[in-house]
Structure 1
Amino acid sequence: MEMESPWNPTCPRHVAPPLPATPRVSLIRCCILLASCISVMPPDDAGNRAVVERQGPHLRASGRPFIVHGFNTYWLMYFAADPATRPTVTAALAEAAGAGLNVCRTWAFNDGGYRALQLKPFSYDEEGLPDYGGKRQYVRWGKEAGLDLTSDDDFFSDSTIKSYFKAFAKAVLTRINTITNEVYKYDPTILAWELINEPRCHSDPSGDTLQAWIEEMASYVKSIDPVHLLEIGVEGFYGPSTPELLHVNPDAYSGTVGTDFIRNHRALGINLASVHIYSDTW
């Protein structure tokens, strides 16, 4: 199970260099583009949805610290799309709220495959259920369109593939919530957007390719939704920009997969960080 955390617990907080200050950004409890965190506040709190703000390294709501007590449930869209299983979502959120949890991370993507949300580039089906797809599906679509692509990592560099992704991002950000009638980019139940789930770019261990993609997509998302927090979705591996921290990674290989935790989170527009903790592995 993935657990979201603001810092890698295997690395003492004082070891890593601080991220540069970024402007305060308003937000409220929910997260993502490819993964999304949803508020599960108890019903008696639903009418008091205070905006959560980032103030330096802290999150605050109504002047008080906002502490994330979250859980990861990628399958919410799968069950919510079918009226027969939709009560499972309501029950899960109610149970989480009863346990004191206030943030849920879930996925807002499903590319190609069985009952897909994104049937093909620029074509979406709100009845979609997961097979997920991810960057491999985008590259498959590109090849079908006649693009000369040689690797799934072309997802991060090919201009046409990036246009597919931007179109999907815009479709999600500007979608109208059918329950509240609020556009997602204005929806106060959204805490933050996450660009991508656990990206790796093995073809470029320097990290330059993924860094350029993060910077471009962060700028694009912020041009549509400047309000919500934005994070990346990386696993949390240190990279070439901090060689003194490579020994903290789970293994030597982790520092060669094209991600770079500190450098990645210095990208303009990225103002929230998380890591993925697999307790049986790292």
Structure 2
Amino acid sequence: MSTFILGSVVTLGATGEFVQRKDKDFVLNGKEFKFVGTNNYYLHYKNNQAIDDVFKQANDMGIKVIRMWGFGDGEKTKIQNNFSIQPTMGDYQTRNGEVDGLERMDYSIAQAKKYGIKVIPVLTNYWEDFGGMEEYKKWNNLERKEDFYINEKAKEAYKNYVSMLLNRKNQYTGIKYKNDPTIFAWELANEPRNPEDKTGKQVTKWAEEMSIYIKNIDKNHMVSVGDEGFLFGKDEGYKKEGNWAYDGSQGINWEELIQIPTIDFGTIHLYPEHWGISKENYKEWGEKYILDHSKIANKYNKPFILEEYGIGDKSNLDRAKIYEEWNKVFFENGGDGAMFWILTGIDPEHASGIYENYDGFRVMNDGTDVPEKLKEIANKLNKK
């Protein structure tokens, strides 16, 4: 009961400048808030020109929310990307006047504020990119990185990092992160999984503990898990493909996660190309995945967002058409925000002058069919 009361107070206690949850909807300044959004993982380490261009192009496309990385752990991250946030456990200090990840986060959040764009900072990563749980494993001598969810020292280290970040004062705006309405929500982790625990209970318990912890510090912002939406044997994929996303094998139970009172909305990711789905079934598999989650979100009266999705530009498929169909099914069935992967722009540090298309999902505001279709969808939503 105390958890439920806490969640209610947090949701209703924020002012109109903050995006809030009201039952199944997001609300901003008293009005329902639905949006087209995107992801960008280099906003906490690239130079001003690259960061500025992302927000400029997002604004031009009508994008209202950008999900960004809010972590950078370990010496490897520092060496590879010339930045750090937490090079060693519990060390968050800038060294010798270096421009580090915290200053870059400050700058990016200030730029978002300038354009009226909200951001979702992610607090750690299941994957090794930029450190994440793999670093917590090394720091705490864990046997497996999945022990991050249950090891008390690792959990305490995560909480310490979260507390530091939420209480940080942005050097460009003078506003503490926990008091900044530019932040849409906090996200516990990027794509948490736990194949070692087929019950799904460990991640659910961890998400409950950490979301309560955040809401005890921050009375203004929503919290999400950041998972991919894997289900627990309730159904199967389109034409029985990708059933591993439905059978609980990844240690994620989306239906349990969305019921946590201090988790304000559900998240799903959608990558049929990476998930072993036949190319001819990408569109229909994605539509079914969206509908299956819509039913659960409606059942528990919670919002949900299609937080990451993409089809590679080498697939020889009509990406713009499939994205249009996924968005249509999503928004017509109660979805609240659709965020494609990944909006990029100029990069003065690259020989080409633009950010490299590392994963084949790159979207640039260059007048081609995919960004124009996404812009069209965004503009329709923004006029409502």
Question: Same-fold call, TM > 0.5?
Answer: yes
**CA gap 1:74/1:250 in 2 versus in 1, 3 angstroms:** farther
- For the residue of structure 1 that corresponds to 2:51, the secondary structure is helix
Deviation at 1:52, TM superposition (A): 2.4
2:36 to 69, 93, 99: 69
Alignment of 1:178-197 (within 5 A): 178-197=171-190
Preserved contact between residue 27 and residue 227 of structure 1 (Cα < 8 Å): yes
- Separation in 2, partners of 1:206, 1:97: 42
CA RMSD of aligned residues (A): 2.4
1:268 aligns with 2:266: no
Deviation at 1:27, TM superposition (A): 6.1
Aligned to 2:340: none
1:59 aligns with 2:26: yes
| Higher RCO (CA-CA < 8 Å; seq separation 6+) | 1
Alignment of 1:10-25 (within 5 A): 23=8, 24-25=11-12
- Separation in 2, partners of 1:125, 1:75: 20
- For the residue of structure 1 that corresponds to 2:266, the secondary structure is coil
**What is the TM-score normalised by the length of structure 2?**
0.56
1:233 to 226, 236, 250: 226
1:133 to 115, 131, 134: 131
1:89 aligns with 2:56: no
Deviation at 1:91, TM superposition (A): 1.5
**Looking at CA atoms only, which structure, 1 or 2, has the larger radius of gyration?**
2
Q: Post-superposition, which runs of at least 4 consecutive aligned residues in structure 1 deviate over 6 A?
A: none
Deviation at 1:262, TM superposition (A): 1.0
- Separation in 2, partners of 1:56, 1:250: 33
Preserved contact between residue 198 and residue 234 of structure 1 (Cα < 8 Å): yes
- For the residue of structure 2 that corresponds to 1:205, the secondary structure is coil
2:91 to 123, 127, 152: 123
1:251 to 239, 242, 245: 242
1:12-55 Cα distance to aligned partner (Å, 9 max, x none): xxxxxxxx996334669xxxxxxxxxxxxxxxxxxxx8332211
**What is the TM-score normalised by the length of structure 1?**
0.75
- Identity level (%): 29
- For the residue of structure 2 that corresponds to 1:105, the secondary structure is strand
1:95-146 Cα distance to aligned partner (Å, 9 max, x none): 1101111110000001102232101121014543595111111010112xxx
- For the residue of structure 1 that corresponds to 2:234, the secondary structure is helix
**Gap runs ≥5 in structure 2:** 102-127, 275-285, 287-384
- Separation in 2, partners of 1:246, 1:177: 46
Greater share of helix residues, 1 or 2?
2
**Gap runs ≥5 in structure 1:** 1-19, 29-48, 80-84, 144-148
- Separation in 2, partners of 1:86, 1:151: 38
- Separation in 2, partners of 1:68, 1:250: 30
Deviation at 1:235, TM superposition (A): 0.4
Alignment of 1:159-178 (within 5 A): 159-178=152-171
Aligned to 1:146: none
Aligned to 1:17: none
- For the residue of structure 1 that corresponds to 2:44, the secondary structure is helix
- Separation in 2, partners of 1:218, 1:246: 30
Preserved contact between residue 192 and residue 228 of structure 1 (Cα < 8 Å): yes
Amino acid at match of 2:30: G
Amino acid at match of 1:135: M
